[in-house]
Structures are given as C-alpha cells and as structure tokens.
Structure 1
Amino acid sequence: MKRRNFLRNGLTATASTLAIGNVFAGADRADLKKEETKNTAAEKTFRLNYAPHDGMFANHAGKDFLDQIRFMHDQGFRGIEDNGLLGRPKDQQDKIGALLAKLGMTMGVFVIDGGENWKIGLTNGKQEHKDVFLKACRDSVEAAKRVNAKWATVVPGFFERNIPIGVQTGNVIDAYRAGAEILEPSGLIMVMEPLSDTPELFLRGSDQSYSICRAVNSPSCKILFDIYHMQRNEGNLIPNIEKCWNEIAYFQIGDNPGRKEPTSGEINYKNIFKYLFDRGYKGVMGMEHGNAKPGKEGELALIKAYRESDSF
C-alpha cells in the first residue's frame, strides 16, 4: 500500500472512531441531562403534601388563581386549598378541577358554609339553622365533584349560652349525622375544625372534636387538626394528635404567634412534620396562614421556610 493511501485510510478510520465516540458521548450527556432533570424534579417535590391557597403567591404569579396554581406546582407543591370554593362560579370550579387533574395536584379543603358559620347556628338545635347547613352540604357535594375534593371544613358556630353544654353537643351531633348522610354516598368527608379565634366559638378542643366524631360514627365526619389553633387552645401537640389519630383526616399549618409560615414563631414544625411522615400520613397539609414578609421577597422566604421544615 502506498504511504499516502495508508495515511488517508488511517485518518478516515480515526475520524469514524471519533464520530462514533461523539455519538455515544452525546447519548451519555443526554442520559445524564435526563437524569439531572429527573433528580431536580424529585428534589422540588416536598415530602409532605403542603397546600397553598389563593393569594399566597400573587406577587409572582398574578391575581389569576389558575396562574397561581401553576406557579405553586413549579415550586414543588402538589396540593391547594380554597376555602371560598362554594362562592366561585361553576365554570371557574370546573377550570380549577381540570388544571389540578392535568398537573397531578390534590384539592384540599373548602368550607361548607351556608352563611352561619360565625354566629349561633347548629348549637341551638333549631331546624331553620340545620336546614341551612344541610343545603350547604348538598351544594358541597356538587362542588366537590368539579374539583375532585375529598375534604370540606365544617364549624358548628357559637355557643348558645342559654342551653347547657351537653344539650348543645347533642344538637351538633344530630346536625352532623344528618350532614354525613348527605356526604357519605359521594365519599366527601366533612372535617370539623376546633378554632381559637374567639372563646365564643363552641368547638375549641381536639378531645371535644374526638367525642363528637365518635358519636356521629360516620366515615364522613372527622377532625381537621389545625396546628396553629391547637397550639393556642391546648398545646401538647404531638401527644394530642396521637390520642385523636383515628379521627383526624386533615391537618392545617400556621406558626404561633402571628399565624405565618413555619420558622416564623415558636412551633417546632420540622419535628411535627417528621412525626406525621413517620406515622404514615399521606393526606394534605393545608397552609392556612399568611406570609411573614410582604411582596416577592416574602413569597420566596415562605418557600425557603417550607424547604427547611421539610428537610427532616
């Protein structure tokens, strides 16, 4: 073979080898990039299903709730709450439900509210108030179908001071039994929320809520354990959660004092989140609180606080 042919053939072979090597290297890089993207996505998703609400990220995403939901998803959140869902037009409820289904997100609680939640209602036993509540239950079943909701908040209203506490408790049990009969066929669970906003409210303790759940005796009547309210009303959070565990279907978050995001107050949320995770809780953790700081800076600080508290 002539020397120049030998050199030409050798250069051709070398070029082919380099080309093949580049192809494999490109494939390796592509696989690596896919793996990096996969890992990044996995890191973005929180270990527990924290659920923001309308307005929490409005500075980044704008006022449109659908755009906010998209932003929430991009930040790793996989649930939302919408207390005022019943007041939204049906077409908007449909759009929210469709977007959640597309993004693989879970709808948390909305409030079963016929307009009497913050006044004397179910405690006095009057049929007119019970009828308002039961109508709201029927409306809630239809709204829940549009957004694939599994939980809805109920509160029995204020004390009726002219009626003994035991009789008031019986009146609430009767109303919730009737409500559960409406909700059970659809699988919607009303979660009763003990609150700390004012001592005029009838339902204030986890043990009180537990006894009502046991009396109603329905899979559609459980407890919403709002950690902020329960810290204010009774403290001793993890032991009380443990005592009432079989009747708790939902948790909400808020630090104390101030009712802002975790790390802004006194509650050791990292420890509580670890307990719930280790206990096998798979439900939604509603972020029913405000932002400790205003604007975009406050929204980023909130996300950072959840990353920190979720790193148990």
Structure 2
Amino acid sequence: MDRRKFIKQNIAATSLAGLGPYLGYAGNFEEVSTFVKNQFKLSYAPHLGMFKELAGEDPIDQLNFMADRGFTAFEDNGMKAKPVELQEKMAKTMANRNIRMGVFVAHNIYWTEPNLASGDENLREEFLNQIKESVEVAKRVNAKWITVVPGYVDQRQNLQYQTAHVIETLKRASEILEPHGIIMVLEPLNFRDHPGLFLSGSPQAYQICKAVDSPSCKILFDIYHQQIQEGNLIPNIEATWDEIAYFQVGDNPGRNEPTTGEINYKNVFKFIHNKNYDGIVGMEHGNSKPGKKGEKSIIEAYKQSDDF
C-alpha cells in the first residue's frame, strides 16, 4: 500500500461517511466492549478505516473506538480534502477524547514530474499557496505537523541545483509556518515503491533540514520506507535525531502492522522511547488480516511491540 493509495482511501472514507448519523459503533458494542483500554508507552496514531469493521464507517465512531482502546493520537493523510464541517466535528471529538492530531498531507504531490526540484517559480508559488491553505486546516483540526514530499526529480538538472531549489522553497514555506508553530515534516520515500522521487534517504533529508535551518522544517522518519531504502534503522535514527519530528511505521515486506515482517519493532520502539520521544508514531500501514479478526490483531501487535 503506497501513499497514493492511502490518500485515496481516506478521501473515499470521507465520501462514505459524509456528515450523517453515527453508523456502527453502538451496534458493535458487545464486540468492542470486551477490549481493555491499553496503556501504551508511545503515542501511536491509527487512521480512518483501520478499525471500521469493529467501529463502523463513521469517522467519529472510529475516533471514539481508538480512544477507548488506548490510542492517544490519530493521523489522516486526506484531512485537507474533507468538508470543513467534518473537520470541525473530528477536531471536537479529538479534543474531548484527548487524542492528538497527527499529520495530514499539505499539498499536491507530484509523483511523476518535477515541481520543487525544478526551480520553476510558478510551481513554487503553487506549493506555497497550498502551504498557506494547510495552515488554516491545521489550525482548524489542531494539527502541529503537516507532511511534505518534494516530488519528482528533474532529470535535466544536476542534483545539487535541484537541492538548492528545494531548500529555497522550503525556506519560504518555513516563513509561512513559523508564526503558527506548525512543522512541515519532509518524508523520504523508498526507491522501490516510489521510483524517481527527489527525496529518498534520511541523510538527504537531514542535510536539507540543516540547510533550511528552521523549527518548521523537520524529518518524518517512516521506518517502513527507510528499512527498504537504507536499513541500519537505529543508527540512522540516532544520526538524524535532532531533525526528526515525527515517525511512521509499517513492517516490511507487506507494509502491514508490526510483527508481520522483518523489522524488530519492539527494539526500535524501545530505542525511541529511551530517547524521551514524546511525539506521534503514525500507523501508516494496512491490516495483514481482513475483518474484525484482523483489526483485533492490529491492537495485539502494538501491545506486543510496546511491551519493552
């Protein structure tokens, strides 16, 4: 499951849920009431659809289900595309249930053609205008972090020129974000799932953040992507630590919940916890098993990986 698919699923979930009455949570009361509220050491953030079989299609019911299971954060790539009324309703629910809002995607991502790397002034202005729009969404839903992906490489330009173009654009975006205390988190994406993107490695993201030199420009370290791209996870997290503001997870292969692949998430989570990380760990992955059984397995996987 790649980022494009996650965004489409989030938009589809909004369309299905609309703004109508709550659908499934009350009806599944007997099913969900057997769970015990967990006390996780880290702030794991599910997304819409992850527990729809147990909680129902309505996003408010899903948020309440997450809170009842002990999750203290939530992320939604497609939040920006949702109706304002639904954004406000979700924000109110999160505030009432002590759920922190995680990332949403801040702009239109160019998957197959260059934008920020090109240095094109029109594309730069388009991006900056989308950042301004995202500030309003972030304030509405109480989001501190927004996801930025610099887009495709420009094969007609030297990499160093491209890097300079990206840095200049991100400096200007930081000027927009800093007064509001909002952080854009740059996400390197792996070469296998997203070939041709400009930003792929954590050292590259680190270099760019150092050059931008702003509290509003940091790294989103997606452990799934970086396991594929470079491995050596804990040393790379350590090396880039002072520029990391957000984590996302998914096991490899399969991009499903921890314990289903090769990554020792218990050790990775322990390392992050011991570094006194108090941010969000986004659960940006699929469910390895279908239905209610698969959704229960998600919770069990995080209980197991958080048991250190």
With the length of structure 1 as denominator, give the TM-score of the two structures. Answer: 0.85
Change in CA separation of 1:270 and 1:131 when aligned onto 2, cut-off 3 Å = same
What letter is aligned with 1:81?
A: E
Conserved? CA contact 2:113–2:154, under 8 Å? no
Aligned match for 1:145, one of 131, 139, 143: 139
What letter is aligned with 1:62?
A: G
Secondary structure at the aligned position of 1:83 is classed as coil
Instruction: Tell me the residue number matched to 1:234.
Output: 230
Whether 1:85 and 2:79 are equivalent positions in the alignment is yes
Whether 1:113 and 2:116 are equivalent positions in the alignment is no
Conserved? CA contact 2:114–2:154, under 8 Å? yes
Conserved? CA contact 2:109–2:149, under 8 Å? no
Aligned match for 1:211, one of 207, 214, 220: 207
Once residues 201 and 115 of structure 1 are traced to their aligned partners in structure 2, the CA distance between those partners, rounded to angstroms, is 10
Once residues 63 and 240 of structure 2 are traced to their aligned partners in structure 1, the CA distance between those partners, rounded to angstroms, is 32
Change in CA separation of 1:115 and 1:208 when aligned onto 2, cut-off 3 Å = closer
Once residues 82 and 181 of structure 2 are traced to their aligned partners in structure 1, the CA distance between those partners, rounded to angstroms, is 22
Instruction: Tell me the residue number matched to 2:270.
Output: 274
What letter is aligned with 1:182?
A: I
Once residues 116 and 228 of structure 1 are traced to their aligned partners in structure 2, the CA distance between those partners, rounded to angstroms, is 21
Instruction: Tell me the residue number matched to 1:259.
Output: 255
Deviations 1:153-196 (Å, cap 9, x if unpaired)? Answer: 00000111010000000000011011111111100000000001
Whether 1:178 and 2:172 are equivalent positions in the alignment is yes
With the length of structure 2 as denominator, give the TM-score of the two structures. Answer: 0.86
Whether 1:156 and 2:150 are equivalent positions in the alignment is yes
Once residues 255 and 309 of structure 1 are traced to their aligned partners in structure 2, the CA distance between those partners, rounded to angstroms, is 12
What letter is aligned with 2:240?
A: C
Deviations 1:244-299 (Å, cap 9, x if unpaired)? Answer: 00000000000000000000000000000001111100000000000000010000
Select the structure that is richer in helix: 1
Whether 1:63 and 2:51 are equivalent positions in the alignment is no
Once residues 208 and 295 of structure 2 are traced to their aligned partners in structure 1, the CA distance between those partners, rounded to angstroms, is 38
Offset, 1:119 = 3.4
Aligned match for 1:133, one of 127, 130, 151: 127
Secondary structure at the aligned position of 1:44 is classed as coil
Aligned match for 1:202, one of 198, 201, 209: 198
Aligned match for 1:50, one of 44, 54, 69: 44
Change in CA separation of 1:214 and 1:124 when aligned onto 2, cut-off 3 Å = same
Q: Percent identity?
A: 54
Instruction: Tell me the residue number matched to 1:33.
Output: none
Conserved? CA contact 1:117–1:155, under 8 Å? no
What letter is aligned with 2:128?
A: L
Once residues 45 and 63 of structure 1 are traced to their aligned partners in structure 2, the CA distance between those partners, rounded to angstroms, is 25
What letter is aligned with 2:146?
A: A
Larger Rg: 1
What letter is aligned with 1:130?
A: R
Conserved? CA contact 1:45–1:78, under 8 Å? no
